[in-house]
Structure 1
Amino acid sequence: MTETMHEFIRTERRGDVAWLTIDRPKKLNALSVQLMSELSEALAEADTDDSVKVVVLRGGEKAFSVGYDIAEEVELEVSTAEQWHGGLSNNIGLTMQVWGLSKPVIGMVEGWCLAGGCELAMACDLLIAGPEAQFGEPEIRFGSGPVTLLMPFILGQKVTNELLFTGDVIGADRALELGLVNKVVPADELEATVTKLAQKIALTPLSILRYTKRTLMRAYEQMGLRDAVQGNLDLAAVLNSADTPERADFTELVASKGLGAALAWRDDRFAGLD
């Protein structure tokens, strides 16, 4: 086993499987600009290395990722539709890099898997979750919305409508019932389960894996997946720049009292309704 370290991404080679770990625990693996750049680089390296057959993407015990780094966005004073369009293009680029990787990607999810982190997980070919995993896109509750619109193709219309209109977060068992994840296993069995699955897939010749994944991607893209993602980019840029009282209050709280206070305010608005 060999290991390569970036500041926020750790890459381990276990035979013909590359394990990529998002490692920013103090921020619950929030996707900062630097983290996304490091992850993109690690994905590209695994994709072009013919000795790698399968990629595993995981976070930590508390969070796969809570999504894009909102505090960083506030600090950078991203506000106009044009500014949002540029930033969101980068975010979509990373998620679609996972989606379009030429090799199978297994996502291993523990804890929070929210917003952009949930989109990153949905882009994986297979998802194995621990019992405490939590999935959702709650950003609508403060005036934002999904960036990479994958959910309709994975969950279907009615469930997607419910989750994106309400911002509800669902647990691992509900995610399994809806088909968002392939399997839920006890936390102490999670890594072993993912290892066994990756090793099983890696027995298939690399060229066959590549062509099979290409065929599956094209099937979804014939249904309009890439067009939907690209079309949503323009709308998301406008949505994120919309001048609403809720968005203004949330942004002011992030700047003055920190992200934790802003998220508490957001969730308090829905207290008793969840």
Structure 2
Amino acid sequence: MQGITPETNDYKHLVYEVDSEHVCWLTLNRPEKLNAMNLRLIAELQAGLQRADRDDNVNVIVIRGNGRGFCAGHDLDEDAAEDRTSIYEYRAHYIYQFEEFTTPWTVTKPVIASIHKYAIGKGFELSLFCDVSIVTSDTRMGYNEVRYGVSGHCMFLPWVVNMKTAKDLLLTGRELTAAQAKEMGLVTEVVEPDQLAEATRRKATLMARMPREMQRMHKMYLNRVYEMQGLRAATDYYLEQVAIMGAQPVPEYAEFSRMTAEKGLRAALDHANARYEGLD
């Protein structure tokens, strides 16, 4: 993108760039995996966000994805290899990863998610705790991992939509179109695929030209409104439930993991999806 000057870093799965308008562009860079989140990418994204938050040359942060989609969710290959022998260690691991992954919410500067094609599972959740989401019209979103016995991770969903909508999405695992997500209040703006870069640039530039400290004050104020209503207590409760389920997976997930290890992820997904065919 014109005007961007790359900065030196040791990231493997993230590209960190700052442009002349004081916008930091963080690009998820695992295109061969549709930018699926593994432990390293999550850690690098946190590091990039915190670096931008400290950088006096940055007013706004944009998260986008390289390749064919924004983020296809959690890296299920890595997930199948996780050590779950101790519920206490697994719980600590999960809580630490929650703190890493929710960094877009906790940094003081505004964060925009610039989304194309896929925002599934963790990619969907990542978009929920960004401050603004700009999405292409062909994007698919949702928590389809629950159909395989994989829980969500952060569960900001009930704080973004009404109760009936949250239950519909979580209890069916159905995917949404961008238009449906916009109608539900899950995204800020929907644009055509060839307009995403320009729409994101314009929004980021507008926000970057606002008084910086005013932006930071209002972001943190609005976050506190939701936290005072119970957001953090609710997500902490969800984390405890997920830690138990992660250490003692449901039978469907145990079967999914076994098939992933023996036959590969594609075969496991096809097998798991077969029982839902024709019902969406």
Q: TM-score, normalised by structure 1?
A: 0.95
SS at match of 1:19: strand
SS at match of 2:102: helix
SS at match of 1:155: coil
Matches within 5 A, 1:212-231: 212-231=218-237
Give the superposition deviation at 1:65.
Answer: 1.2
Asked whether 1:17 is paired with 2:32, we answer: no
Closer/same/farther in 2, CA of residues 87 and 116 from structure 1, 3 Å limit = farther
Q: In the alignment, which residue of structure 2 is the partner of 1:7?
A: 12
Asked whether 1:103 is paired with 2:103, we answer: no
Matches within 5 A, 1:227-238: 227-238=233-244
Q: Which amino acid is the alignment partner of residue 14 of structure 1?
A: D
The count of residues paired between Structure 1 and Structure 2 equals 274
Matches within 5 A, 1:112-131: 112-131=118-137
Q: Which amino acid is the alignment partner of residue 95 of structure 1?
A: F
Query: Relative to structure 2, which stretch is displaced further, 108-117 or 71-80?
Result: 71-80
Matches within 5 A, 1:148-227: 148-227=154-233
In 2, are the aligned partners of 1:91 and 1:147 still within 8 Å (CA)? no
Give the superposition deviation at 1:240.
Answer: 2.3
Unaligned stretches of 5+ in structure 2?
Answer: none
Give the superposition deviation at 1:82.
Answer: 2.7
In 2, are the aligned partners of 1:176 and 1:184 still within 8 Å (CA)? yes
Q: Percent identity?
A: 33
Q: TM-score, normalised by structure 2?
A: 0.94
SS at match of 2:138: coil
Query: Relative to structure 2, which stretch is displaced further, 76-85 or 49-58?
Result: 76-85
In 1, are the aligned partners of 2:140 and 2:176 still within 8 Å (CA)? yes
CA distance in 2, matches of 1:125, 1:243: 33
In 1, are the aligned partners of 2:153 and 2:239 still within 8 Å (CA)? yes
Cα RMSD (Å): 1.4
Q: In the alignment, which residue of structure 2 is the partner of 1:36?
A: 42
CA offsets 1:161-195 (integer angstroms, 9 cap, x no match): 01111111101111111111111111111110010
Q: In structure 2, which of residues 133, 136, 140 is the aligned counterpart of residue 134 of structure 1?
A: 140
In 2, are the aligned partners of 1:143 and 1:239 still within 8 Å (CA)? no
Q: In structure 1, which of residues 245, 248, 251 is the aligned counterpart of residue 254 of structure 2?
A: 248
Closer/same/farther in 2, CA of residues 83 and 267 from structure 1, 3 Å limit = farther
CA distance in 1, matches of 2:142, 2:258: 24
Q: Which amino acid is the alignment partner of residue 5 of structure 2?
A: T
Give the superposition deviation at 1:84.
Answer: 3.2
Give the superposition deviation at 1:245.
Answer: 2.5
CA offsets 1:66-106 (integer angstroms, 9 cap, x no match): 22212112123435533432332233112321111101101
CA offsets 1:24-71 (integer angstroms, 9 cap, x no match): 011111111111111111111001012100000111352211222121
